Amino acid sequence: MKIVRWFLVCVPGFSLILLTLIKQAPWSQESFIWAAQPAATTPRFQATNLGAVSAFKLPPLTLPQPEPAPELVLNLPFNRLSEPDHVFIPGFHDFGPGAKLKGMNYPEFEAYVQRIQALGYQNLTTQKLLDFLHGKEPLTGKWVLFTFDDGYGGQFEAAQILHRYGYTTLLGIISNHVVTGGDKLNQAQIAELLTQGHELASHTSEHCALALPAGNYANFYATPTGGTWENCNPNVASLLNQNQVAFQLGDSKAVMEKTFGVAVRAIIYPYGYYNDITYQESLNAGYVLGFRFPSQVNQDIHSYSHTLELPRMRIMRGASL
């Protein structure tokens, strides 16, 4: 009887104390459940949406203002086609019949290249661009650096067209997509293009957005797609933390240098998005050139403040000069 009496008295008392503690603790049901889950063993996205941004009071993303090296020439005209002396950096995606992202078919692209040549544009390599940027050589005349994003298979024939007219391109390759194949360039094709003088740039490991447009988070949603890099989908932008940005930049560079035996010195930012973290981690990874598109993060296609913030012009079907 004493044991029964003890249970009748003590158990309700302990229950009341426990309920009081739970109510006073700064936990929610969701956070309590999350804390009980085991830690992730693979890198995962720090996914976000508008609600999450408001809840965590994330600061607006800002462009970096790095101090340029003293010898850096900051008045080079980029993409100002009316200037007699300028650097033109057109950015392309897919090519051929049914090209994605409003890409050009081959006859249209060849006509575009013919027009470039007729206007007197000289072929620009990354090394010559660095010489211009650091004042080792004066910029005289019109120069064009073709850039191809995403490594679509149709770029192989487009690069052959450039080769026939004496031009090269900077191939922005997503390193993990070389393995998966599909409609992308394979390892043998990339190797052949390198022997023709075309150059290789990183387009990260998985084509994850390295930043989000400041003040425009509402247009971007993280939808789980599975895999090691959950939510990393070419059609979905997700917010990566700094370690994940560093991995996307560093791993792709290391993998492609080992695979193809060439130095990868340039990064072409997915979607063109670029911010202070991107800048710092690109420096840490060893990139010396970075290319962006105008976007809600980067509005001006003409200006730059560092060699890791060079502007391009996106060229699509129907474009003319």
Can you tell me the distance from the alpha carbon of 300 to that of 311, in angstroms, rounded to the nearest whole number? 8
pLDDT recorded at residue 237? 46
| Closest to 298 (Cα-Cα) out of 266, 276, 318, 320 | 276
Question: How far apart, in whole angstroms, are the C-alpha atoms of residue 127 and residue 125?
Answer: 5
Task: Give me the tens of pLDDT residue by residue for the chain, a chain 321 residues long.
Answer: 555 555 555 555 555 554 454 444 443 332 222 223 333 333 322 222 222 223 223 333 343 444 444 457 778 899 999 999 999 999 999 999 989 889 999 999 999 999 999 999 999 999 999 999 988 999 999 999 999 999 999 999 999 999 999 999 999 999 988 876 678 999 999 999 999 999 999 999 888 878 765 433 333 443 333 333 344 554 444 567 788 889 999 999 999 999 999 999 999 998 888 788 888 999 999 999 999 886 544 456 667 778 998 999 999 999 988
Tell me the two tokens of residue 44. Answer: 């995962």
Angle between helix 242-260 and 187-195 (nearest 10): 70
Amino acid at 258: K
CA distance 87 to 132: 10
Beta bridge partners of 149: 172
The values of phi and psi at residue 207, to 5°, are: 65, 40
Residue type, 11: V
pLDDT of residue 317: 93
Read off the tokens for 212: 């989000």
User: Sign of dihedral through CA atoms 148, 154, 160, 166?
Assistant: negative
* Separation between Cα atoms, residue 77 and residue 56, nearest integer Å: 40
181/195 Cα distance (integer angstroms)? 21
Among residues 272, 61, 264, the alpha carbon closest in space to that of 175 is found at 264
HSE toward the beta carbon, residue 193, CA cutoff 13 A: 29
Single-letter amino acid, residue 158: A
Task: Determine the pLDDT at residue 72.
Answer: 75
Contact status, residue 289 vs residue 83, Cβ threshold 8 Å: no
Distance between CA 253 and CA 167 in Å, rounded?
24
Structure tokens at 219: 């247009």
**Sign of the dihedral through C-alpha 270, 275, 281, 285:** positive
Q: What CA–CA distance (Å, rounded) separates 177 from 195?
A: 21
- The pTM of this model reads 0.73
